[in-house]
Amino acid sequence: MYYLSASILSADFSNLSDQIRKAEDAGVNWIHIDVMDGHFVPNITMGPFIVETCRRITSLPLDVHLMIEKPENHIQSFISAGANWVSIHIEDNPNVHRTLQLIHSLGSKAGIVLNPGTPAQSVEAVIPFVDLVLVMTVNPGFSGQSFIPQILGKISTIKNMLEKHNPEAILQVDGGINPQNISAVAEAGANCFVAATAIFKHPQGIAEGVNSLRTQIQKKMRLSPQAQERG
212 touches ligand DX5 by CB under 6 A:
no
For 54, phi then psi, to 5°, come to -60, -40
Residue 147 CB, nearest approach to ligand DX5 (Å): 8
Interface stretch with ligand DX5, choices 22-30, 138-146, 149-157, 203-211 (CB under 6 A): 138-146
Interface stretch with ligand DX5, choices 87-95, 118-126, 165-173, 192-200 (CB under 6 A): 192-200
**How many angstroms separate the CA atoms of 178 and 18, rounded?**
22
CB 110 within 8 A of CB 83: no
Choose which of 47, 61, 141, 205 interacts with ligand DX5 (CB under 6 A): 141
Choose which of 71, 140, 189, 209 interacts with ligand DX5 (CB under 6 A): 140
- Of 113 and 210, which CB lies nearer to Zn ion in the complex structure? 113
Q: Name which of Zn ion, ligand DX5, none residue 131 binds, using a CB cut-off of 5 to 8 Å depending on partner kind.
A: none
Binding site for Zn ion (CB under 5 A): 34, 65, 174
58 touches ligand DX5 by CB under 6 A:
no
65 touches ligand DX5 by CB under 6 A:
yes
Q: Name which of Zn ion, ligand DX5, none residue 141 binds, using a CB cut-off of 5 to 8 Å depending on partner kind.
A: ligand DX5
Just list the catalytic residues. 34, 174
Interface stretch with ligand DX5, choices 11-19, 122-130, 173-181, 210-218 (CB under 6 A): 173-181
**How many angstroms separate the CA atoms of 219 and 221, rounded?**
6
Q: Name which of ligand DX5, Zn ion, none residue 176 binds, using a CB cut-off of 5 to 8 Å depending on partner kind.
A: ligand DX5
Provide DSSP, the chain. -BEEEEEGGGS-GGGHHHHHHHHHHHT--EEEEEEEBSSSSS-B---HHHHHHHHHH--SPEEEEEESSSGGGTHHHHHHHT-SEEEEESTT-TTHHHHHHHHHHTT-EEEEEE-TTS-GGGGGGGGGG-SEEEEESS-TT-SSPPP-GGGHHHHHHHHHHHHHH-TTSEEEEESS--TTTHHHHHHHT--EEEESHHHHT-TT-HHHHHHHHHHHHHTTSPBPHHHHHT-
Residue 85 CB, nearest approach to ligand DX5 (Å): 13
Residue 230 CB, nearest approach to Zn ion (Å): 23
- The binding site for ligand DX5 (CB under 6 A) comprises 7, 9-10, 32, 34, 65, 138, 140-141, 143-145, 174-177, 194-198
